[in-house]
Structure 1
Amino acid sequence: MILLVEMGLFSHPISSYNDLNFNGVDMQNNSSGDITFTYPKSISFNDNNYWNLTNLLDINQSLDRINSFEAAGVSAYTGDQIVPGIDATKHLIRVSLLNATIYNDHDIGEGEIYFNITINGNFTETERYTAEDGDTIDINLNIFYAWCLKLDIIIEVWEDDTSPTPDDELGTFTYNTTTPSGEIISGLTDIEDAKVWLEIEVIDSDSDITAEFLADGCKPYFYISDESPATEEPDEVYSRVLIGKDNETMGNKDIICIQYLFYWIKENFPVPINTQFHEDDYEEFLIFIDPADLYHPYRYVFDDGSYVSNTRSSRLAIWENHPTTDINETTAFVTQELTPLLGGNVTTDYKIFNLDEASNELRTGLSGIGTMNLIIQTSFHNFQEGPPGLFDLSVNEIGYNYSLSQLNDLKIREFFRRHYHAFEEGLWFISTLGKDTPKVHPFTFDIMNPFDFPYLINGYPNVVENIKLFQEANDNFIDYQYNVEFTTALIINARYTIIAPDSVIPGDDFDVEIEVEILEDGVEIGMYYDFLLNGTIKALFLDKNFLFDYDGKVEANIPMDTLSNMLTLLSYRPLIKDGLALNVDNYLSLDQFSLSSNLLGDIMQAEASLHLWEIIKHQLPILYPPVFGPLHVLDYFMDAIDFKLDTSLQGFLNGTISSSDQNIATLTKNSFNFDGSTSQTLSQVSVAETATSGTSFDIILDDLLFTMSFFTDWFLQIDFMEIIALLAPEYGHMTFDIGTFPNVNFTSDDSVQYPTTTTSVSKQINIVDKTGKIGVRIFGAVTSLLSIMIVLVFIKRIRK
């Protein structure tokens, strides 16, 4: 019983004992030592940069970053590329008007007969033929030759009367089929005053629907409204077919958009007609088709012109199956890849027209698929839905008589490269319009994704504004220099403990336990910094210098179990320097942070930003008011100057274990490394049989190092506003790598300037003989027994 109590009092391990196999390990005792590791490091860096604003324009670099001019999820097809998802067969058809019999010419004697023929929207008016009642006219006229999916034939028979007497109508013959075949057809007009004979020939058939066929077969039917001779037909027309998802209207299904781009080499004033408004002009027209309803497009979009105002359009016209709306305003967002060329967004006016209420605005295209009548209404080349109306006094009917070229990536790059010419030529002020206008019109359409509302996005206002800034900034520059100095110090305290018996006998084997503890209250960090920014800006009417010089320090203890203290540290705490209030919330941000509860293994990961530009533009004018002007202007060019750090901290403890006398004792483990998964280790010690009583040896922990994967990436980040991003995308966002310090695997050995650092811990173990060891244990047992007896007597007296 007493033995059990004795064992309960001793919490440390005791080896077994018997007379035959004596193990003489004594009771375990601790020997501890504290070590301080110090890491002071300094860094200094500087740089300078000079930008001439008008030398930064590099359209090619922006274009080289664009692999293709289709947005994500959009596919483009041109030329003979096959458009997927269309289940139809096209036919090469020839239609001939063979003859016609006149039963009633609505005239006395012979009449002058002619035919207005519309086949798949293509209009033809024939010559005059002399005939009277009962005559059959041999015509043999080729009236249609094209690839198409279906035929829609309308033949009007007329008798020409001398003006002002109106012509007499002899009726209309109609025929349509979705499965054309070779045959001769005939029929009476609707009022039976004439009969016509036609021959249909199917020359070829093909089930591959190409982009070229689809674009040519759906192109709009054109009229030129000559309000002045300055209104002219396009010099070039380009097209391509896009497939994407119109999620807003059609759900998650593939939709076809045919994209047409009309180009003029110049644009003139209406009066006088020989005055050039600007070089180059572009207009875009879009047709949307659901392959499940192939013959009836569900949306048309174009830049709507106005005959009355005779000015550039102020709205988009969107014709779709939706109730007609008033003119509304929306913000259109430019596809990200094109923002360096067109800006980020643009405000657009639009009006929706109900497609179900359309009458003569629509017609059948050459392919048999529906299309739209379009008028080029003014010399500014804006579109308007056709056909011509009452105020269109003089009209030139182009119809389908214009050819298409491929709108491929090569041609689109060529259009965007014309930005160079537009920026170089600049603007001129048009007094009659009261606005600045480019001398060379840039290509400003976002053609990459027409499936997002409002479908047609024109960055013209953004580009014109940037041309103006570019022109006014000619020979202007920004010049700046910076100098940064940092010193940081990290102090870590650790406690090593060796657990081993005080005495052993010859021939003993025992374990020595090594433990380590990071003294959390002894972890400190300090940072000292000095930042200088000096610059000059010559822009617009300003030629000013700006100077910013700021220094400070941060010191903190880091109780590693308190996260809030670390956050406060990384935020540098609010500081006051010469009346300059540094508000942490506005000027510092912690972008990412993670913290461990110990100093072994992964300790800390953090990203922080010191927003220097916010400090400069808000605080510097308080200290030095004359800089407000240049800083205000510079703010149009500068978006952010951030001093950033990305830091990672890992801790490792390592060292060696040895015996002071290898002839007396040897160890099975000679080194240790603690990486956070463990903070203690065991090494078996063997005492030589030849060891003599009265001698001793030391267990030594040596070469103790606190090795740290402790590094911080420092860099300066400068973000310019859209003007710089447009002129030189590579300078829109710049990062200057300052360096990494301290270096990876930076260890406490580098702190040689601190000679007080302890590098070893030891514990002495004595060799005793067997008799002495037994005596010690008996004495210990007796002592323990007496202690218990005294306690029992004391308790008994208390109870009395």
Structure 2
Amino acid sequence: MKSRKLIFFILFSIMIIPNSHYRSVSANPMLNASDTVPLNFSENYQTDWDYNNSFQPTMPNVTQYLDNEFSDFDPAGSTVYTEDEQVPGYNGMWYFVTVTMTNLYITNDHDIGAGEIFIEGGINNADDRYPASTEYSMNDGENQVLSDMIFSGWAVTLGFNLEIRESDGALDDSLGFINGHYDNLVNESITLWTDINEASITFDIEVTQSDTVFLASELLEIYKPELWVDDETSSTEMPDFVFGRVIDGMDNGINALVLQYFFYWTAEYAPDLIGGFKTHDHDYEVFMIFLDKIDPIFPYRYVFNNWFYTDVTEAPSTTIAIFEDTTSTGEFVYDVEISPSLQGFLGTNVSLNAEVHDLSEITDWQYGLVSSENAFTYTPNGVVSVHMTVETSYHTFDLGPGGTEYGFAYAITPLTDDTIIELYSIIEDTFDAGVHIWTYFGIDIPKVAPFTFDVTQVFTAPYGITAYANVIDNAAAITRAQNARLDIDVSGYIGLNFEVPAEVEITHPTQLSYGTNSLSLALKPNIDQTEITLFYGLSVNISYVFWFMSGEILYDQQGEITINPFTDEVTSLAGLLGLGDFERSDIEINDYLSAGFVLHPTLLGPIIEGELSLNLLEVIKNIFKANPYVRIIIFLLEFIVDDFSLTLSATLEAVIRHDIQTTSMGVSLSQSTLTYSDETPQTIDVIIEEGVDLSQGVVLTIPEADYDLDFYVDWSLELGFKSPIDSVIPDISIPIGTLPSWTANLLTSTGGSVTIPGPSPQSSSSTEISDTGSESSDDAGVNGPVVFVIFSYIVVTTIIVRKKK
């Protein structure tokens, strides 16, 4: 019975006692725990600068400038043809035609007896007499057999212009006119009656060849105007050259061909009535014909400089005449911007006066102040053109057959790109020769007139665009153009602020033991809260005079851009002086950062490789373009500035270094400094001497951490100009400085300490005694009930053995 009680007691104890705990001795299982040391790298850098400079460059050679700036002088979206280049798409045909008059019939001889009849005029602007010096004697209802060839040559159409007359002494009688054009060119015989039906002529038409190929030189010859000269000076008034080219492009929905003629004289003279003196060397007039390629026989627009003026102070006229099929007639003022590449020597814009007329007015045009006549005519090739008179010694134009007839007997010289460059280059002589100061007339005129036409704008009203008012009318502009100058005053500041939070995670055994203990240290940056802020202030004052351009740009701004390199977003808060603050968020960083570098979204290792450029011009445009007060500043800035960038050049290798030390006696570390170039954990050994009392734990301290770079970063402000300023002012690099100049440390963070449980003198090098108190511990010591069970088992076994004995 006693044995049974004892066994029951032992089993009961096994069930109850596991809830009781005892002081125990345990081997170290090397289970891990971790502690962290917080870091925060925060630093601010700023530098200020002030840059002043004034440039007075030597004026470039205009010919060289044009050679560099222009590959051609073609209007945008158009194609230019000159000389023997074939013009595609012209909807017409050439015919080689021979026309012979074979019969003359009259119904009224306008005389008591037989009438003395003759024919005047011809085909395609010919003006002949048949018979040459006599007449045909004819009565009413009679026929006269003829064999006169009145046309033989290439023609697009046949334009008839004949009058049948009866010679009657001082005043001839007219039997009427045969007018009109005939475009059904085939082999046939036709009879045409006069407008009053008193006579008719029969014509034999013979077509021997045809062709659909038209060269630029041929079109310019076909349509050129019939020229007359109203001579007011003893100097030659016929042009020395007439240059021409064909431009193929779109004109407000019309598939158009523009025939662009420039009439050129080596000099211009005043009328003989006021002395006939030379006013200046070189003179130019433009004449333009617009054709619809689908129906090209009759032009739809003529453009030239109108002739009228009242005295020399108004000469020459600056009013452009436009004749077109329109209902919007009258006088208009056009404000036109000169083509950008020509603005240097023509100015930026010009205001032009134009008189717009309907085409029908040409049929009854008043010329020479006294006459009125149909100014249309047929060219020798049968298309419609106009009579054009060079009015006055100032070479302006007027419609109508006034003065001396020169007809079509003048050649067209190809207006090639080289010729255009040669014409524009005359402006160098304008600069060198200076001006006439004519106090009597109250005007100043350059001694050498430059070529002032914008040849690249033919589809912009008023079409014959000239900067005459910018160059010739303003003699002061010539003096100013000779003294090109660019003054730049740029001041400001640039700064960087870094905020890089992180922590060092130390992974260690739950309790250190005597001997060598391995610890792992890893750097953990806080990506979400990492920010790099660029703040800046910028004040710009640029004034310039370049040939016939001048202006001033004033700009003043402060702001900041905060970059999180891991989200690729920019938050900008900018204050514009005098205009208050406003905010713009979520701007892609790529809008501002240029190509040519690699930006790594990391805090360790290579951060930037190559060149990083912050485009301040784009920042200004994109952030402030919605503000109405700033638009004009942006417009002016963009007008001459091509590039305005903040640039740094670096290969930025970032590392974090920190010392690690202990103040615990009898403890040493395998390393005293750790370096992180990435987030790979670093390992150190903690060596504890045998028998040292470390019951208070082992203290590990990171005094501070350094965020280091191994070289420097160069900052500069890059300023580049647009054409034509860039041809004389090279791109400017304004050194801001080396910011910062690092040989090692970039940022520093305070560190911290951790305490790791250590061994006491009672433990061996591989075990320790741990007082666990009243709480259970599965991690250290030996469980008390296990000892009790073993002890109870030994006692029970002993009792049983003795009982058996």
Q: TM over 0.5: same fold?
A: yes
User: Rg larger in 1 or in 2?
Assistant: 2
Q: Is the 8 A contact 2:60 2:727 kept in 1?
A: no
2:732 corresponding residue in structure 1: 736
1:451 corresponding residue in structure 2: 459
Shift of 1:355: 2.2
Q: Does 1:383 align with 2:397?
A: yes
The TM-score with structure 2 as length reference comes to: 0.67
Q: Does 1:319 align with 2:328?
A: no
Query: Structure 1 pair 643/772, CA: closer, same or farther in 2 (3 Å)?
Result: same
Where 1:215 maps in the other structure, the secondary structure is helix
Q: Does 1:85 align with 2:127?
A: no
Q: Is the 8 A contact 2:108 2:199 kept in 1?
A: yes
Q: Is the 8 A contact 1:700 1:763 kept in 2?
A: no
1:496 corresponding residue in structure 2: 503
Q: Does 1:371 align with 2:385?
A: yes
Where 2:56 maps in the other structure, the secondary structure is strand
2:150 to 130, 143, 153: 143
CA distance in 1, matches of 2:640, 2:119: 68
Shift of 1:331: 0.2
> Structure 1: which 5+ runs fail to align?
1-18, 389-394, 540-553, 574-582, 610-634, 675-679, 785-800
1:237 corresponding residue in structure 2: 242
Query: Structure 1 pair 184/125, CA: closer, same or farther in 2 (3 Å)?
Result: same
Q: Is the 8 A contact 1:650 1:708 kept in 2?
A: no
Shift of 1:326: 2.8
Q: CA RMSD in A?
A: 5.9
Encode CA deviations 1:311-368: one digit per residue, 9 max, x unaligned.
3224222212222533121201212221122111110111221224542233344444
Where 1:293 maps in the other structure, the secondary structure is coil
- Aligned pairs for 1:720-735 (under 5 A) are 730-731=727-728, 735=731
Return 355-364 or 640-649, whichever deviates more.
640-649
Q: How many residues align?
A: 677
1:305 corresponding residue in structure 2: 307
> Structure 2: which 5+ runs fail to align?
1-25, 364-373, 548-557, 591-600, 618-635, 663-667, 780-805
Return 357-366 or 643-652, whichever deviates more.
643-652
1:333 to 334, 337, 360: 337
1:129 corresponding residue in structure 2: 134
Shift of 1:120: 3.3
Query: Structure 1 pair 608/556, CA: closer, same or farther in 2 (3 Å)?
Result: closer
Where 1:346 maps in the other structure, the secondary structure is strand
1:281 corresponding residue in structure 2: 283
CA distance in 2, matches of 1:517, 1:429: 77
Query: Structure 1 pair 761/369, CA: closer, same or farther in 2 (3 Å)?
Result: farther
- Aligned pairs for 1:221-260 (under 5 A) are 221-226=226-231, 232-247=237-252, 251=253, 253-260=254-261
CA distance in 1, matches of 2:563, 2:522: 27
Query: Structure 1 pair 526/139, CA: closer, same or farther in 2 (3 Å)?
Result: closer
Q: Does 1:470 align with 2:478?
A: yes
CA distance in 2, matches of 1:454, 1:261: 16
Query: Structure 1 pair 771/451, CA: closer, same or farther in 2 (3 Å)?
Result: same
1:3 corresponding residue in structure 2: none
Encode CA deviations 1:76-132: one digit per residue, 9 max, x unaligned.
111222222223322233334466567755356786654332423454456332331
Return 643-652 or 210-219, whichever deviates more.
643-652
Where 2:387 maps in the other structure, the secondary structure is strand
CA distance in 2, matches of 1:64, 1:109: 79
2:356 corresponding residue in structure 1: 352
Encode CA deviations 1:552-572: one digit per residue, 9 max, x unaligned.
xx99999989x999867x76x
Percent identity among equivalent residues?
A: 23
Q: Does 1:219 align with 2:224?
A: yes
The TM-score with structure 1 as length reference comes to: 0.67
Shift of 1:242: 0.8
Query: Structure 1 pair 348/178, CA: closer, same or farther in 2 (3 Å)?
Result: same
Letter in 2 for 1:128: S
Query: Structure 1 pair 769/441, CA: closer, same or farther in 2 (3 Å)?
Result: farther
Letter in 2 for 1:404: I
Letter in 1 for 2:390: I
Q: Is the 8 A contact 2:712 2:743 kept in 1?
A: no
CA distance in 2, matches of 1:409, 1:432: 40
CA distance in 1, matches of 2:201, 2:615: 84
Q: Does 1:169 align with 2:174?
A: yes
Query: Structure 1 pair 218/780, CA: closer, same or farther in 2 (3 Å)?
Result: farther
Q: Is the 8 A contact 2:259 2:288 kept in 1?
A: yes
Where 2:135 maps in the other structure, the secondary structure is strand
Q: Does 1:290 align with 2:292?
A: yes
Letter in 2 for 1:268: Y
Q: Does 1:30 align with 2:35?
A: yes
Where 1:64 maps in the other structure, the secondary structure is helix
Q: Is the 8 A contact 1:315 1:351 kept in 2?
A: yes
Return 137-146 or 287-296, whichever deviates more.
137-146
Query: Structure 1 pair 470/155, CA: closer, same or farther in 2 (3 Å)?
Result: closer
Q: Is the 8 A contact 2:45 2:496 kept in 1?
A: yes
1:205 to 210, 213, 218: 210
Encode CA deviations 1:443-485: one digit per residue, 9 max, x unaligned.
11111121122212111111226653333786x6869899999
Query: Structure 1 pair 354/344, CA: closer, same or farther in 2 (3 Å)?
Result: same
Where 2:261 maps in the other structure, the secondary structure is strand
- Aligned pairs for 1:39-188 (under 5 A) are 51=56, 55=59, 58-97=62-101, 100=104, 105-107=109-111, 113-125=117-129, 127-133=132-138, 141-162=148-169, 165-173=170-178, 176-186=181-191
Where 2:343 maps in the other structure, the secondary structure is helix
- Aligned pairs for 1:760-779 (under 5 A) are 772=767
Shift of 1:68: 0.6
Where 1:469 maps in the other structure, the secondary structure is helix
Where 1:373 maps in the other structure, the secondary structure is strand
2:376 corresponding residue in structure 1: 362
Q: Does 1:442 align with 2:456?
A: no
